[in-house]
Structure 1
Amino acid sequence: MSFDVPSDRRYLESHEWALETNGTVRVGITDFAQDELGDVVFVELPDEGESVTQEGEFGIVESIKAVSDLYAPVAGEVVAVNEALFDAPELVNGDPFGEGWMLEIDPDDAAELEELLSAAEYEDQIA
């Protein structure tokens, strides 16, 4: 099976993606992750203003099959949360790289993104 892995992002081995835009880092889970989870029924996310650490837990995603922890790709302050997911968690399944994004982080050190997997490295991991 082939999964969408956009080349404009970086990836964690735990299946989160990170996209730098205008100085912040938008975060979500990958197409592979949402497929493995099945139908997402609940997402728990931090509040704006909370701090996250690189590879530290920031929330959970719950599906009909499993509950999975979510990990931050970079350390920093949460500056936006996708509140649409609270009423429509299925957006994570339908559009994991778009409408299903989870949060935005103002990174303490944007260079942390370079430590993450490239799209090609992530594709190798899930192959």
Structure 2
Amino acid sequence: MQDTQDWYGPDTATFGDRVAAAREVAEMTQAQLARRLGVRVATLRSWENDLSEPRANRLSMMAGLLNVSMMWLINGQGEGLDAPMEEATLPASAHEILNELRELRTDMLARVEQMARLEKKLRTALKDAGHERAA
């Protein structure tokens, strides 16, 4: 069996991975956890997809509801979940694929952020061009 810190640590799992795993172990749907936290499902989904992070008060509530520590949610250290049993039985090739998927996910998130910055620049440029024509 793998070490818990390795499985849920920052090199292996993201904040969103830990939230989703803890929610599943607590046998809650996204809708149930979102309702208990007083947030929209889309907000919880964005946390689980690592598109945003909760403020400290929501993080504290979430840790309590999921029966894990805040530090474990943030960085995988402290009171949290044990490593999944089935992970230890996966062949090495599956581990390689999982690592490649995580790298791809990280790259995709960076590309989404880059697209958002470019879109903002384009909007600004179009807005400025519109003002120049009007003047």
TM-score (norm 2): 0.32
Query: Relative to total residues, which structure has the larger strand share, 1 or 2?
Result: 1
How does the TM-score come out when normalised to structure 1? Answer: 0.33
Larger radius of gyration: 2
